Chains A and B, each alone.
Chain A
């Protein structure tokens, strides 16, 4: 089996290293450790990491943070709309975890050129895992669908998974607690003897529906799957 890493160039590795740094800084802010960088013409032009806890906005994923920085900067610099679309079409994204369905759709809308990701996002992934939004617009009579981008995973996946794993194993101090039991939900829980609802509510653990993974990675996988991690913020 070919090591997944060998298909990548040294600059790919360097950019992903940078994205991992972003993920680590998220972790030090008690955020789920996912990070990314945008690269244009071989240069890092933007970076981002998860800010979902701080903002209480679960859509503030690393990709969204980095995209907003770019749009703000380009508009301040007076770039016209076609100039901005032109720039996005030259951008390559390096992100530690496969973009979720939301972010993959956003990247497609922006018309980005290419995405490299670390670990797969088996529960929320929008670049092949759950949906394939990198394939762009569905069925265009005119031919070429808009919003298609190249996408490759497995770049430094074990590093990305390692961060996530250590984050979840140490618990997430900002973990959501169910403050407002939804009446329909509490009804559902009242009928338990399935106790997973019970365990999911334990303070200090974020949505442990997947439980804490005992790392049992099938060796045949090219890169570490994250099916056991709840990559809500991927």
Chain B
């Protein structure tokens, strides 16, 4: 049976069909559109409606164009113009706009058909990859790579199991170069046994090392031993060291009370918060500092300034300015910002602490093999990927090992 990669949805399925929400909009003169978009994006960003475009252009009869612009969300209620922020009100007054309530799609489209439907109402953006429910659409090559990465994580966990207890493993990779950025296991309990594992698998490995040619039966047996479902007390006890599964368990630990003085260069011989994902982020940051010792100081051209200063550019529409900015960004060879663009592979679904840490560090995608029914924050107990207020959203996938591994 083949492995499967399945998107973990960030909202309950089927809740977005045709659901709309009210916004305050106004028709505007086309020549004012750029100025207004700029002002309004500062005064009233559309935080919870990222998929909705700010401007709607419609061709009316006689070839006339009608341009409508979203001024701000509704504040006092779906159909109320009350509560418009002062800044937006000022724009309305300055340009003598006539605000009205418009309906826009509340959620991003989950299919091309739905997107086309939405655009009849108000234009939205549609990213097939980001919205697939169920089976993710990866190319065979991508799928192969993703499964290889997950096997790397599973192997780390298997190795750590040789030291009697199962641990969670985390592997951060750069999918564009296919390099490993960091690979670690939990460091919540004494480090001794795990050091060798992490050292052996640390830092940028040769990409080739991630291909698993000699997989076969042995490998599967190893995974199987790892993931006995929670059957007996005996079995679940071996999972106690998986930090994200049992984050509070350290409070009850009475064992290894005699802590020898720390002389192995590590600051801690144990640390209840050093879950695999946290340690992986730390290693990725250390790598960043090592590879790019100088804080960067230049960056993409200041779009804002050039748009204001150059009359020629003022004529251009926002699209082309954005295109230009993207181009200038691509030309710069720069260090990554945090883990932007990187993926992480975890054997178990992360707890709330780890899931939020990955938001902070701007991870692009999270892949995990097994759900965390005790404390999982990406579907099991909480669903951080669907938390609209957060400033960064990753997509989450479950990688199902073949059925031989998980019966």
Cβ-defined partner of A182 (8 Å) among B38, B44, B364: B364
- In whole angstroms, how far apart are the Cα atoms of A179 and B362 in the complex? 13
Tell whether A232 pairs with B258 under 8 Å between CB atoms, given A177-B299, A178-B329: no
Q: What mask results when residues 158 to 199 of chain A are scored 1 for a CB within 8 Å of chain B, else 0?
A: 000000000000000010111111101011111111111111
Chain A proximity of B191: nearest CB distance (Å):
12
A194 engages B281 (CB within 8 Å): no
Across the A-B interface, how many residue pairs have beta carbons closer than 8 Å?
A: 242
A29 at the interface (CB under 8 A from B): no
Chain A proximity of B355: nearest CB distance (Å):
8
Chain A proximity of B109: nearest CB distance (Å):
13
- In whole angstroms, how far apart are the Cα atoms of A82 and B250 in the complex? 9
Which B299-343 residues have a C-beta within 8 angstroms of A? Answer: 299-300, 302-304, 317-319, 321-323, 325-326, 329-330, 332, 334-338, 340-341
B332 engages A198 (CB within 8 Å): no
B45 at the interface (CB under 8 A from A): yes
- In whole angstroms, how far apart are the Cα atoms of A85 and B272 in the complex? 10
- The chain B residue with its CB closest to the CB of A129 is B389
B356 engages A194 (CB within 8 Å): no
B53 engages A196 (CB within 8 Å): no
- Complex contacts, B54 vs chain A, CB 8 Å: 192-196
B256 at the interface (CB under 8 A from A): yes
- Complex contacts, A196 vs chain B, CB 8 Å: 41, 45-46, 54
- Complex contacts, A186 vs chain B, CB 8 Å: 326, 329-330
A101 engages B296 (CB within 8 Å): no
B251 at the interface (CB under 8 A from A): yes
A131 at the interface (CB under 8 A from B): yes
A126 at the interface (CB under 8 A from B): yes
Which B216-269 residues have a C-beta within 8 angstroms of A? Answer: 247-248, 250-251, 253-259, 261-262, 267-269
- In whole angstroms, how far apart are the Cα atoms of A67 and B289 in the complex? 23
A207 engages B361 (CB within 8 Å): no
Cβ-defined partner of B356 (8 Å) among A126, A179, A203: A126
Q: From DSSP, what is the main secondary structure of chain A's interface residues? A: loop
B329 engages A181 (CB within 8 Å): yes
- Complex contacts, A2 vs chain B, CB 8 Å: none
A124 engages B322 (CB within 8 Å): no
- Complex contacts, B353 vs chain A, CB 8 Å: 101-102, 105-106, 109
Which A196-229 residues have a C-beta within 8 angstroms of B? Answer: 196-199, 201-203, 207-212, 214, 216
- In whole angstroms, how far apart are the Cα atoms of A58 and B281 in the complex? 9
Tell whether A59 pairs with B299 under 8 Å between CB atoms, given A81-B259, A122-B389, A197-B322: no
- The chain A residue with its CB closest to the CB of B44 is A211
- The chain B residue with its CB closest to the CB of A174 is B295
Stretch at the interface among A16-24, A41-49, A71-79: A71-79
B302 engages A202 (CB within 8 Å): yes
- Complex contacts, A75 vs chain B, CB 8 Å: 259, 262, 267-270
- Of the listed residues A52, A111, A199, the one surrounded by the most CB atoms of chain B closer than 10 A to its CB is A199
A100 engages B356 (CB within 8 Å): yes
- In whole angstroms, how far apart are the Cα atoms of A59 and B129 in the complex? 28
Which A106-145 residues have a C-beta within 8 angstroms of B? Answer: 106, 108-111, 122-124, 126, 130-131, 133, 136-138
A146 at the interface (CB under 8 A from B): yes
B334 engages A110 (CB within 8 Å): no
- In whole angstroms, how far apart are the Cα atoms of A68 and B187 in the complex? 14
Tell whether A198 pairs with B41 under 8 Å between CB atoms, given A85-B251, A181-B330, A193-B55: yes
A-B contact sample (11 more), CB < 8 A, given A102-B353, A209-B45: A57-B285, A75-B259, A81-B250, A81-B259, A109-B353, A110-B272, A130-B387, A177-B334, A193-B54, A202-B303, A203-B300
